[in-house]
Structure 1
Amino acid sequence: MKLKNVIAGAILFIFLTNNLMAQPGYQPTEKNLQNREWFQNAKFGLFIHWGMYCQMAGGGDQGIAEWIMNQKKIPIAQYEKLPNFFNPIAFNPAEWVSMVKKAGMKYITITSKHHEGFAMFDSKVSDYNVVKRTPYGKDIIKMLKDECDKQGIKLFFYYSQLDWHHPDYFPRGNTGQGFTGRPEKGDWNKYIDYMNTQLSELLTNYGEVGGIWFDGMWDKWDAPWRLDETYALIHKLQPGALIGSNHHKFPFPGEDFQMYERDLPGENSMGFNHTGAMSDLPLEMCETMNGSWGFNLVDKDYKSTTQLLQTLIKASGYGANFLLNTGPMPNGKIQPENVDTLAVMGKWLEKYGETIYGTRKGPINPSVWGASTQKDGKVYVHVLKCKEENLFIGTLPKKLKSAKFFDDQSTVKFKETEFGVILNIPNSKKKPIDTIIQLEY
């Protein structure tokens, strides 16, 4: 490699490193550390994707939904007509939060602004928001936050750093190019100022929030995002708020939890979760109930409750939370199919939540057959798939004292060998979703 190439590469690395330094020297407050602990104990939350895109109902394509402006190349002048029809008169935040509680979920993360650039809150820095541009005219975020406070549910705000609407999001990234009608010029620093002002609004006008869930930075990796300023602002305004970013990379300084999109920690079936090793921060994975994030009338690819519960269990086996998404309909109702799914999951958690909530990653890494969690000196082995009656689970850090079926506390026969532990699980004792075995050293 020529010297000039080495120097150029070094300069680029320094440039990118400086841009992504986020909040160097960040030391979380005691409140922040307490909230991290709460977050790890919570294990299960509801993701809500709701914006103007819900009215397009997928445009006839399964899976587009919240990306429809980009995928169908809708110019801003045309897309700006959508708020004129947004009037979700059936929106009942008490219903939403009650559904969340019945599902056994402990927090909600809602889109305050998605890539379309439309704010679902009463922003003063831009009139492109739900209060000023829609016949509904009410602050969705405030209504939901007030109800969350009443019912004891934490609320996190999703915020898209990517913006297909704002003229100063320039130079353009990998998306939103060539069709929006924006002038081919802009002031990037003005856009970051705009973003930080909206974040300040979210962090000062709605009481104490769980945190900020960023998305969209992957659209322009080489941009000067000024993360150090943004992260410091958030931690100053709300020292206890947790920051996470869906940038698909290892966490940057200043971030308080690490997230994975549609993959379990350490996996990359989607092809974009280049996170490398798991950090020591709290972990979270997100997934949809069907194929879309936002409401999509033609997307009927619903995941079974068994699949979703087993994903929750495996996520817990990695020590991660499961953030499960729904896209509310234009009228403000949650799809009945999703309500039913959440109710079934809640019933399961009523019975088996002890083996999920408050647990940490178990001593046995998740595998094809299942996962393990642990809490208060007990290990819970979650057997999800096992055709044989003898299951080899691997080595444990201590000698076993007992093994019992969680359901009826009957004894599980086991054998400790030099290679690890073998559990005897008669087919008659196996459950269709999860056979739980409680171990004590």
Structure 2
Amino acid sequence: MKVKGVFLAILFVLMTSKNVSAQIKYEPTKSNLEARQWFEDAKFGLFIHWGVYSILGAGEWVMNNQNIAIDAYEKLPSFFNPTKFNAEEWVQIAKNAGMEYITITTRHHDGFSMYDSEVSDYNIVKKTPYGRDIIKELSEACNKEGIKLFFYYSLIDWHDDDYFPRGKTGNGIDGRKEGNWSAYIRFMKAQLTELLTNYGEIGGIWFDGDWDKKNENWQYDEIYELIHDLQPQCLIGNNHHGLLKNGEDFQMFERDLPGENKTGFGTQKSNIGKLPKEVCATINGSWGFNLQDRMHKSKKELIHYLVRASGFGSNLLLNVGPMPNGKIQEEHINSLAEIGDWLKINGETIYGTKAGIIPPSTDWVSTQKGGVLYLHVLENKTKPFIISGFKTRIKSAKLFSNKRKIKTKHTKDGLQIEIPEASQNEIDTIIEIILK
């Protein structure tokens, strides 16, 4: 429940009440444009879904999925004591995987804050026996190791009465009361002020939940302006599955690659903008810790996810859901290390690249740096194959792994390529093409 009369909330209201006009047109600062370029080059990040829901081992939506009453769910924090949590270990796991940034849930849809908030006592420091600010510890560890930190922040709140009128989710949860929407907006602004004031330089804010109340006035103009005023370089993304909104700095895609729609809520190709892109995906089948999840993706599947994302001109934000004791599952650590080992050898074809001029297909994608094109052949080819419509003249083509030349020929249908079967890699055969 909210602490009333806290100085930070009062100060915030006084500061913003004088100027509540909408942003007419967002003009990013030099530091923001530089941050966008860094983000676009980074290509790989670690997503972390962690909260008191991990105790139940049934994912981060357990409160909604099992319709757990407010008073029952409020017992969970008293059991949350992650004594095995080690921020430096988490950061090292990300570094070993070749990741450049970490995005962590500071508050999910259950309304529980995973940091020391002054505007809500429903948080990890005040309500758990653990009593430590894990976001503070993680920010310090990231800063020490040169990893940028992004904050996931839920727009939804199944716990707060002021999240009213309610949206599509959480309506079977007993104990929810009516409240004041304007008060909820003020609460979110105050929490975002805390997150952008007390934890050093932040890479970005990752919003989620717009889809719960698609036609609601979220006051994004004021919220986005607040964020950019506090930290101009801070990148804003919003998982609303639609057109970019004024003030956003990157476009995100959930599970689907840009323009795909296997999930049923993928962003249409016509709605894809020109800002940096990021695809978020799970390492197994769940975001939050799920004890019975056996859908662990193989090394090949995970590397293909990263390579395909890069071929679509996008980052990959790969998720793990730590256990309630604060440890990341060993099988996930091992999988991340396997990707890191692959990147140590092949990272040149991923980091700092853009989508290549060869369009993605089911069998390959391409990445590019200037006049160097990397064709990632993801399915073995027993015969010569043709890149349809490819007319660009090339200077040379060779295997990235050993620099051996391979046979190519321009035909009326495109570029014909022949890779010796013995030279093909079961995960990704990379061809380095130098363009004329």
Normalised by the size of structure 1, how large is the TM-score? 0.92
Q: Does 1:162 align with 2:156?
A: yes
- Cα distance in 2, alignment partners of residues 103 and 27 from structure 1: 35
- Which of 144, 151, 160 is 1:150 aligned to? 144
Cα distance in 1 between the residues matched to 2:247 and 2:181: 22
- Give the residue type in structure 2 aligned to 1:241: C
The one-letter code sitting in structure 2 at the alignment partner of 1:125 is V
Q: 2:233 aligns with which of 228, 240, 255?
A: 240
Distance change in 2, residues 1:179/1:153 (3 Å): same
Secondary structure in 1 matching 2:159: coil
Question: Would the aligned equivalents of 1:165 and 1:180 in 2 still touch at CA under 8 Å?
Answer: no
Quick check: 381-390 or 307-316, which moved more? 381-390
For the aligned residue pairs, the C-alpha RMSD in angstroms reads 1.2
Pick from 222, 231, 253 the counterpart of residue 224 of structure 2.
231
CA-to-aligned-CA distance 1:358-397 (integer Å, 9 cap, x gap): 0001001110111000014210000001333212123346
CA distance in 2, matches of 1:83, 1:93: 20
**Aligned twin of 1:325:** 319
Query: For the structure 1 residues 416 and 149, does the alpha-carbon distance in structure 2 shift closer, same or farther, using more than 3 Å as the test?
Result: same
Matches within 5 A, 1:109-124: 109-124=103-118
Q: CA deviation at 1:341?
A: 0.1
> Conserved in 1, the CA contact under 8 Å of 2:258 and 2:267?
no
Q: CA deviation at 1:273?
A: 1.6
Equivalenced residues, count: 414
Residues 389-398 or 276-285, more deviating: 389-398
Deviation string, structure 1 residues 140-184 (Cα, Å, up to 9, x no partner)? 10000000000000000000001100110001100111323122x
Q: Quote the Cα distance in structure 1 between the aligned partners of 2:87 and 2:370.
A: 36
Distance 2:295 2:123 in 1: 31
2-side partners of 1:148 and 1:141: how far apart?
Answer: 10
1:419 and 2:410 equivalent? Answer: no
Q: What percent of counterpart residues are identical?
A: 57
Q: For 2:205, which of 212, 216, 226 is the aligned residue?
A: 212
> Partner letter of residue 298 of structure 1?
Q
Deviation (angstroms), 1:416: 0.7
Contact 1:249 1:276 in 2 (8 A): no
Do residues 37 (structure 1) and 37 (structure 2) align? yes
Residue aligning to 2:392: 398
Task: Report if aligned partners of 1:23, 1:227 keep a CA contact under 8 Å in 2.
Answer: no
* Gaps in structure 2 of 5+ consecutive residues: 1-20
Q: 2-side partners of 1:418 and 1:400: how far apart?
A: 15
1:385 corresponds in structure 2 to 379
Query: Does residue 46 in structure 1 map to residue 46 in structure 2?
Result: yes
Instruction: Check if 1:272 corresponds to 2:272.
Output: no
Q: Is the 8 A contact 1:22 1:254 kept in 2?
A: no
Aligned AA for 1:411? Answer: K
Is the aligned partner of 1:260 residue 2:253? yes
Partners of 2:269 and 2:404 in 1: CA distance: 41
1:428 Cα deviation from its structure 2 partner = 1.1
- The residue type equivalent to 1:46 in the other structure is L
SS at match of 1:401: strand
**Partner of 2:192 in structure 1?**
199
Q: Secondary structure at the match of 1:155?
A: strand
Q: Write the distance in 2 (CA, Å) between the matches of 1:22 and 1:338.
A: 44
Q: What residue identity is the alignment partner of 1:236? A: D
Q: How does 1:297-316 map to 2 (within 5 A)?
A: 297-316=291-310
Residue 440, structure 1, aligned to residue 434, structure 2: yes
Map of 1:347 onto structure 2: 341
Go from structure 1 to structure 2 and tell me whether the alpha carbon gap of 1:245 and 1:397 turns closer, same or farther (over 3 Å shift): farther
Do the aligned partners of 1:245 and 1:258 also contact (CA within 8 Å) in 2?
yes
SS at match of 1:331: coil
Does the CA contact (< 8 Å) of 1:263 and 1:269 recur in 2? yes
Q: Is the 8 A contact 2:57 2:290 kept in 1?
A: yes
TM-score by length of 2: 0.93
Q: In the TM superposition, what whole-angstrom CA distance separates every residue of 1:116-139 from its partner, at most 9, and x where no partner exists?
A: 000000000000000000000000
Give the residue type in structure 2 aligned to 1:404: K
User: C-alpha deviations, 1:175-223, integer Å up to 9, x for none?
Assistant: 111323122x211010011011101100010010000000001000121
Q: Deviations over 1:328-354 (max 9, x none)?
A: 001100000100000101000000000
Q: Mind listing any 5+ residue stretches in structure 1 that lack a counterpart?
A: 1-20, 59-64
Does the CA contact (< 8 Å) of 1:161 and 1:215 recur in 2? yes
* More deviation, 329-338/396-405: 396-405
Shift in Å, 1:294: 0.4
Q: Which amino acid letter does the alignment assign opposite residue 421 of structure 2?
A: N
